Amino acid sequence: MIRPLFQRSIAALLILFATIVASHAVEIKEVVSPKGVRAWLVQDDFVPLISMRFAFKGGAAQDPAGKAGLANLMTSLFDEGAGDLDSETFQVKLDEAGGEMGFTADMDNLMGSVRMLAEKRDQVTDLVAMAVQRPRFDQAPIDRMRQQIVAGIKGAERDPETIAERKFTEALYGAHPYARPVYGTPESLAGISKADLSGLHRRMFARDNLVIGVVGAISPEELSVLLDKVFGDLPEKAELAPVDAARTALGETTRVDYPLPQTTISLVYPGTRRDAPDFFASYIMNHILGGGTFTSRLTNEVREKRGLAYSVSSGLQSSDHAAALIISTATRSDRAEETLQLIKDEVARMAKDGPTTEELAEAKKYLAGSFAVTNLDSSSAVANTLVMMQDEKLGIDYIDKRAGLIDAVTLDEVKAVAGKLLTTDPAILIVGQPQT
């Protein structure tokens, strides 16, 4: 949450920065600190604001068996006391410095974000360094944050979508760590101790396990000093537990009967890993099938021609240990089976014939130009993009090369990847009124 002082100070600056970024090319510099900490920097001194994003590899997939929710609980505690500052003192000092700091976890990464006025850089980064290197994990904050998370979990247990997602994830991934809930369960959270939190922090927070993106009014020389202050004293190497590739259980249907006015439908097909040679062919094919919100085949057939759903979409998901193409929609319960069959038929048509030459050309044009709009429209978005590019090993020149990589994809390559991915029976989730 943005603190009031910080919010008042930079609201106008964020709007200005978004305008500047959208109208200029992005020049990325690699900065290496004396202790070997690496970061990618987009320097812009016009707006006196600095945004930093960083990610430690591991995430909730590193939660030990029986300790689901450990990484997520840890993310809630970094501003609850660090170094010689207890929770209240730490948060008061961060507020006085006008800084924003937050942490989140997904299955593969534990992410941190920092935003600050350039003139307050030293005060804010002193606190961030304490949080990253010496979190306290005091018992009172542990108990308080655990109670908040458990309350949220219990509240979500009444939500049919949450129930369905949990069942579907378990059916898809079986015993793999991806089947565990990121937030944990009341039972697993009850068994998490301060020693568990300290141990995960020690194993995950290391310099070889870290990518960093920084945007704003800071020079490479100044950033080099900042990097060593915040990250330089972390251990050199992480100690992550190995995680096997996930085997997705396709071909199965999971039904959750619930008296809802609409039935939601999800279909999971094989996906393409981000580092695969045919990723961009998959990316273009998905856009034509369901990724283009108002121009895709699924939108045309399901929404525009028949009015069966307000929206229907497909998307590629690539994680460290699994990849999938997921189609989602919601429709009237009495037309759910009709909608599902229509989606299957459209998928089969794409698998058999692929796209047309005209569809390919339009998709290339859109995808080549959309990157800046969705990834470079604010300082935070640029910083996130820098982290993503490093995490996925895309290269520092990826933004310059991306349009060419898209343009080089041939119609035959898109047809081939459509046949490869879409001829498999999908895993299906249906949530809504019981079938009669």
* Strand ranges across the sheet with 427-432: 253-257, 427-432, 262-270, 323-332, 312-318
The DSSP secondary-structure symbol of 299 reads: I
Are β-strands 427-432 and 312-318 bridged in parallel, bridged antiparallel, or unpaired? Answer: unpaired
Q: 436 falls in which pLDDT band (50, 70, 90)? A: low
Selected residue with higher pLDDT from 313 and 433: 313
CB-based contact 136:239 (threshold 8 Å):
no
CB-based contact 20:47 (threshold 8 Å):
yes
| Mean pLDDT score across all residues of the chain | 93
Over 50: is that where the pLDDT of 7 sits? no
Return the SS3 of 275.
Answer: coil
Four-residue CA torsion sign, 361, 362, 363, 368: positive
pLDDT in tens, 90-148: 999 999 999 999 999 999 999 999 999 999 999 999 999 999 999 999 999 999 999 99
Q: 26 falls in which pLDDT band (50, 70, 90)? A: confident
In percent, the amount of the chain with pLDDT more than 90 equals 86
Four-residue CA torsion sign, 215, 221, 223, 227: positive
Q: Which domains does the chain have, with CATH numbers?
A: 4-15+23-231 (3.30.830.10), 253-432 (3.30.830.10)
Return the SS3 of 373.
Answer: helix
Q: What is the pLDDT of residue 163?
A: 87
Q: Which amino acid is at 239?
A: E
Ranking 226-240, 282-296, 350-364, 393-407 by mean pLDDT, the lowest is 282-296
In percent, the amount of the chain with pLDDT more than 70 equals 94
Distances from the Cα of 231 to the Cαs of 1, 32, 54, 197, 228, in angstroms? 24, 12, 10, 19, 5
pLDDT in tens, 269-306: 999 999 999 999 999 999 999 997 688 999 999 999 99
Return the SS3 of 184.
Answer: coil
Question: What span, in angstroms and rounded, lies between the C-alpha atoms of 222 and 227?
Answer: 9
Question: What span, in angstroms and rounded, lies between the C-alpha atoms of 90 and 78?
Answer: 10
Rg (CA), the chain: 23
Question: What span, in angstroms and rounded, lies between the C-alpha atoms of 384 and 265?
Answer: 31
pLDDT in tens, 29-88: 999 999 999 999 999 998 899 999 999 999 999 999 999 999 999 999 999 999 999 999
pTM greater than the 0.75 cutoff: yes
Return the SS3 of 215.
Answer: strand
